[in-house]
Amino acid sequence: MNYAEIDFNNIDINGKEPITEPQRQYYFMAKCREWAKTKTLEIGRPLTYITQTFGCQMNAKDSEKLSGILELIGFVETDTEEADFVVYNTCTVRENANTRVYGRLGFLNSLKKKNPNMMIALCGCMMQEDAVVDKIRKSYRFVDMIFGTHNIFKLAELMYSRITSKGMIIDIWKDTDQIVEDLPSERKYKFKAGVNIMYGCNNFCSYCIVPYVRGRERSRNPEDIIKEIKELVADGVIEVMLLGQNVNSYGKTLDKPMSFAELLQEIEKVEGLERIRFMTSHPKDLSDSLIEVMKDSKKICSHLHLPVQAGSTDVLKKMNRSYTKESYLALVERIKAAMPDISLTTDIIVGFPGETDEDFLETLEIVKKVRYDSAYTFLYSKRTGTPAAVLDCQVEDTVAKERFDRLLKEIQAISAEMTARHEGEISKVLVEEVNQQNDKLMTGRLSNNVLVHFEGSPDMIGSIVKVSLKECKGFYYIGELVS
């Protein structure tokens, strides 16, 4: 969204609020802008904000949308929580994500006592749970606003309610089929961007809370997606990450159904776009035509994140994953046959209810067979309201921890070998930033998502350069620029 497209001078803030979106939000942004101007004069400095992301890439993308709205209202970003507007965009996929939020709320309260202008907003997946909202309403009275995952686009309207009334504003929608387009978004990187292609999830894996907090699956229109990508490219973006909980089922809810493979072919045509990534792929919906499109593409990166979750067909069945160990391995074979060099990564849950030693050995086996470039491993976390939470035979913590450590050791060894397989090659790197430890080095990413550090200069940031991969250091490379 090009900010200049919103003509605030033509919005009558004393008139009645529009009913249709996004015009209604533009109206509330205009009203909040007036408020922010007055406030800025009153306190003699710009109003500041910070958005804190606790969850996944989709959560991060939502934070960029919140930042976009806040910037338009007139807030200036800061990197500390000593800000006038602090928003926590929460996650609830595992218990520890919730614990982190509660842990930090106490600290926010102490900051708010020192700054009478401070507003605290909580939003995101955790807020879609009734018990959480009840607890905040009762025990965290200093919070100003609570909203969920379906109405983040309403930030300006909610803020306006807060500044014109007293008390906590709570607005949680149970679900929605609405997709509001043409709202601002403030990108973290100039040269790469996340692009939502679908929202929600219909898979109901038995351990997972996401379908309950993100609602039913709905796809964005391909025209809107392509328009956004073209605008991003015109604004300097060369890499996009297409976002959805299960991108492989893209398009099923559209009036004119379209497959994910077809969408990718359309995106490939966008001139100036160099790299396409996507996540996440559910193995049950990964089609042969997608494999073909990936194989023939000049832009789709050589990386596929293909969460396996467990190696035992028994456990997979209880997880409601809709594939077996054998069918997953067969899929991996087809992918590797088409793209021998592709990097595969995965997610694995250890300690799912009823997981036996034998089941766990099958997880180890699948890891050895597939040879992932890297894997995210999680200890099973019981989520209230999911079917797995009431299953018998929850695995004891010590047993789960022991399995987790064994798995991690195996993965690290394989991952180091797999990552090193490109040593000595010359490869294209998208330069992302100055190395955080050593400012003579630049840090960039290979097509397969592995990081490379090499001597270079900051003016390379955002461009693709050729680098010789001198030495693999486990999960990253030290390289040398090739002129």
Question: Cα-atom radius of gyration of the chain, to the nearest Å?
Answer: 23
* Closest listed residue to residue 407, CA positions, set 324, 353, 467, 346: 346
Q: Is 122 in the site for ligand F3S (CB under 6 A)?
A: no
Q: Please report whether residue 210 would count as binding ligand SF4 according to CB under 6 A.
A: yes
| Residue 381, contacted partner among ligand SF4, ligand F3S, ligand SAH, none, CB below 5-8 A by kind | ligand SAH
Q: Of 115-123, 201-209, 323-331, 375-383, which part binds ligand SF4 (CB under 6 A)?
A: 201-209
393 is in an annotated binding site: no
Q: Which of ligand SF4, ligand F3S, ligand SAH, none has residue 211 at its interface (CB below 5 to 8 Å by kind)? A: ligand SF4
Among ligand F3S, ligand SAH, ligand SF4, none, the one that 112 touches (CB under a kind-dependent 5 to 8 A) is: none
Identify the burial level of 420 via C-beta atoms within 10 angstroms of its C-beta, where 0-12 means exposed, 13-18 middle and 19 or more buried.
middle
- Contacting ligand SF4 (CB under 6 A), which of 185, 246, 346, 448? 246
**Matching residue, tokens 């045509």:** 269
Please enumerate, as own/partner, the contacts of 42-47 that have beta carbons within 8 Å and a separation of 24 or more: 43/117, 46/74, 46/75, 46/76, 47/74, 47/75, 47/76, 47/84, 47/85, 47/117
Element housing 37 (H / E): helix 23-43
Per the listing, tokens 């999911």 go with 386
Q: Give yes or no for a contact between 411 and 367, defined as CB atoms under 8 angstroms apart.
A: yes
Residue with tokens 């461009």: 463
Establish whether 32 is an annotated binding residue.
Answer: no
Residue 244 tokens, joined: 């959805």
The pairing of beta strand 218-219 with beta strand 198-199: antiparallel
Peptide bond into 280 cis (omega under 30): yes
Cβ at position 403, least distance to ligand F3S in Å = 23
As measured in angstroms, the least distance from the Cβ of 194 to ligand F3S is 12
Of 152, 208, 273, 418, the one binding ligand SF4 (CB under 6 A) is 208
Choose, by CB under 6 A, the member of 1, 36, 93, 261 that binds ligand SAH: 93
Straight-line distance from the first to the last Cα atom of the chain, in angstroms, rounded to the nearest whole number = 36
Other beta carbons within 10 angstroms of residue 236's beta carbon come to: 14
383 binds ligand SAH (CB under 6 A): yes
Pick the binder of ligand SAH from 212, 380, 404, 454 (CB under 6 A). Answer: 380
Alpha-carbon gap, residue 138 to 416, rounded angstroms:
49
Residue 56 labelled as part of a binding site: yes
Which of ligand SAH, ligand SF4, ligand F3S, none lies near 204, with the C-beta cut-off 5 to 8 A by kind? ligand SF4
Contacted entry of ligand SF4, ligand F3S, ligand SAH, none for residue 58, CB cut-off 5 to 8 Å set by kind: ligand F3S
Task: Indicate which single residue of 6, 205, 263, 264 sits in contact with ligand SF4 (rule: CB under 6 A).
Answer: 205
Binding residue for ligand SAH (CB under 6 A) from 97, 168, 310, 349? 349
Query: Is 150 a binder of ligand F3S (CB under 6 A)?
Result: no
Q: Of 48 and 59, which CB lies nearer to ligand SAH in the complex structure?
A: 59
| Residue corresponding to tokens 């879609």 | 128
Residues that bind ligand SF4 (CB under 6 A): 201, 203-205, 208, 210-211, 245-246, 282
Residues that bind ligand F3S (CB under 6 A): 55-56, 58-59, 91-93, 125, 210, 213-214
Feature table: binding site for [4Fe-4S] cluster: 56, 91, 125, 201, 205, 208
